[in-house]
Amino acid sequence: MHPTLNIAVKAARRAGTIINRAALDIDLLEVRAKQQNDFVTEVDRAAEEAIIEVIREAYPDHAILAEESGEDGQSEFQWIIDPLDGTTNFIHGMPQYAVSIALAQKGVLQQAVIYDTSRNELFTATRGRGAFLNDRRIRVSKRARMNEALLGTGFPFKQLQHVDAYLGMFRELTEKTAGLRRPGAASLDLAYVACGRFDGFFEIGLSPWDMAAGALLISEAGGLVSDFGGEADYLKTGNLVAGSPKIFAPLLQIVQAHKGIDLAA
């Protein structure tokens, strides 16, 4: 295992211990709304602190972009961290949440870890070396037809102005696929595309820490990832389409048909 991936795994497991302990006493959690439909708990903060501590110990000069504490430091290496993706699920005791950690070098994703703490599923990827689930190599699905495809998605709950465009996509894809699922943690949705549980995924208005690790997992598992314009700018635009090679193109085409003039690529 690459040394930086090793540190990411160590950090994710440290955060996972905090999250799993807190999951036993969810009723005691102090919950605060950051904005409408967007929550943070002391668990998010404690998990993030634990991750940053592990990274800082190993790489004190690296920069960090984390959901709760923001951007810190200047370096060609930047760690992109979501300490608890799926906080709303976590608060409700729904076991669909994860720790997401990625490392970018000069803006290019190099390492990825997504850790599903409740199922003890550890997804990892290193650029050029493939993607893995609990040390077993994973690949995107081989499904070739849209009418057989199962897609993951998420509602644009932080950008409600795009709901109509999103519902247009949702309606057409509901008619043309085997089904859509909205589990509520984008990092895990992307990990599920990488291991073939989903054939594709799309969402509007994601943050870099929601996408970074999952995007590398998918490309290392043989899949495709882009923004709504078919370009690689998803970390900036926040709009993402991903899928296996056969499903990606028709999925992108349908998303583009509904995105509307108010939606950036």
54-98 pLDDT, tens per residue?
Answer: 999 999 999 999 999 999 999 999 999 999 999 999 999 999 999
Domain range annotation of the chain? 3-138, 146-258
Which pLDDT does position 1 carry in this prediction? Answer: 84
Angle between helices 163-176 and 245-258 (to 10 degrees): 140
One-letter amino acid for residue 51 of the chain: I
| Alpha carbons within 13 A on the beta-carbon side of 97 | 22
Which pLDDT does position 158 carry in this prediction? Answer: 74
Task: Please say whether the dihedral angle defined by the alpha carbons of residues 8, 13, 17 and 22, taken in this order, is positive or negative.
Answer: positive
Q: Can you list the residues of the chain whose pLDDT is less than 50?
A: 261-262, 265
What span, in angstroms and rounded, lies between the C-alpha atoms of 104 and 78?
Answer: 5
The sheet carrying 240-243 orders its strands as 179-181, 150-154, 200-203, 240-243, 224-226
* Angle formed at CA 185 by CA 148 and CA 165, multiple of 5 degrees: 65
Which pLDDT does position 261 carry in this prediction? Answer: 42
| Alpha carbons within 13 A on the beta-carbon side of 98 | 30
What span, in angstroms and rounded, lies between the C-alpha atoms of 33 and 27?
Answer: 16
**Considering the domain 146-258, what is its CATH architecture?**
3-Layer(aba) Sandwich (3.40)
Superfamily of domain 3-138: Fructose-1,6-Bisphosphatase, subunit A, domain 1 (3.30.540.10)
